[in-house]
Structure 1
Amino acid sequence: MSFIKQIKLLIRNVKFIVYFLFLIGNVTCSCKTSVYIQPTVSTEKPKPRIPGELYPRMIIMYMDRTIWPFWFELDVTRPIKNKNGIVLDDGFQPLKPFQQIPGLLDSLHKQGYKLAFINQSPDNASMENLLEWFNFNKYLTHKMTMSAPKKELVRIISQKYKIDFGDMLYLDSEYDEIPDIAELNVVCIQTGDKGVMMEDVQKGLHIFSTAAPDYG
Structure 2
Amino acid sequence: IKNSDNIISLNWINFIKKFWNMNFIKQIKLPILNVDFIVYFLFLIGNVKCSCKTSVYIQPTHSTEKPKPRIPGELYPRMIIMYMDRTIWPFWFELDVTRPIKNKNGIILDDGFQPLKPFQQIPGLLDSLHKQGYKLAFINQSPDNASMENLLEWFDFNKYLTHKMSMSAPKKELVRIISQKYKIDFGDMLYLDSEYDEIPDIAELNVVCIQTGDKGVTMEDVQKGLHIFSTAAPDYG
Change (3 A) 1:32 1:111: farther
Tell me what 1:94 maps to. 115
Change (3 A) 1:23 1:94: farther
Tell me what 1:158 maps to. 179
The question of whether the paired residues in 2 share the 8 Å contact of 1:29 and 1:36 is answered with no
Deviation of 1:43 after TM superposition, in Å, equals 2.7
Tell me what 2:229 maps to. 208
Deviation of 1:215 after TM superposition, in Å, equals 9.7
The question of whether the paired residues in 1 share the 8 Å contact of 2:188 and 2:234 is answered with no
Change (3 A) 1:111 1:20: farther
* Structure 2 residue 85 is matched with structure 1 residue 61: no
Tell me what 1:3 maps to. 24
TM-score (norm. length: structure 1): 0.80
Tell me what 1:78 maps to. 99
Change (3 A) 1:31 1:178: farther
Count, aligned residues: 216
Equivalent residue of 1:210, what SS? helix
Structure of greater Rg? 2
Change (3 A) 1:17 1:210: farther
Change (3 A) 1:211 1:80: same
Deviation of 1:211 after TM superposition, in Å, equals 1.9
RMSD: 15.2
Distance in 2 of aligned mates of 1:49 and 1:182: 24
Deviation of 1:27 after TM superposition, in Å, equals 37
Distance in 2 of aligned mates of 1:119 and 1:105: 17
User: Per-residue CA shift, 1:168-198, capped at 9, x if unaligned?
Assistant: 0000000000000000000000000000000
Equivalent residue of 1:148, what SS? coil
* Structure 2 residue 24 is matched with structure 1 residue 24: no
Deviation of 1:90 after TM superposition, in Å, equals 0.2
Distance in 1 of aligned mates of 2:80 and 2:69: 16
Shift >3 Å, 4+ stretches? 1-42, 212-216
TM-score (norm. length: structure 2): 0.73
The question of whether the paired residues in 1 share the 8 Å contact of 2:140 and 2:167 is answered with yes
Distance in 2 of aligned mates of 1:192 and 1:5: 66
Change (3 A) 1:14 1:151: farther
Distance in 2 of aligned mates of 1:25 and 1:152: 67
Query: Which 5+ residue runs of structure 1 have no aligned equivalent?
Result: none
Query: Which 5+ residue runs of structure 2 have no aligned equivalent?
Result: 1-21
Distance in 2 of aligned mates of 1:55 and 1:139: 18
User: Per-residue CA shift, 1:29-75, capped at 9, x if unaligned?
Assistant: 99999999999854321000011100000000000000000000000
Sequence identity of aligned pairs in percent? 95
Of stretches 81-90 and 15-24 in structure 1, the one that deviates more from structure 2 is 15-24
Tell me what 1:143 maps to. 164
Of stretches 22-31 and 98-107 in structure 1, the one that deviates more from structure 2 is 22-31
Distance in 2 of aligned mates of 1:8 and 1:143: 79
Distance in 2 of aligned mates of 1:126 and 1:167: 30
Change (3 A) 1:35 1:6: farther
Deviation of 1:129 after TM superposition, in Å, equals 0.1
Relative contact order: is structure 1 or structure 2 higher (C-alpha 8 Å, sep ≥ 6)? Answer: 1
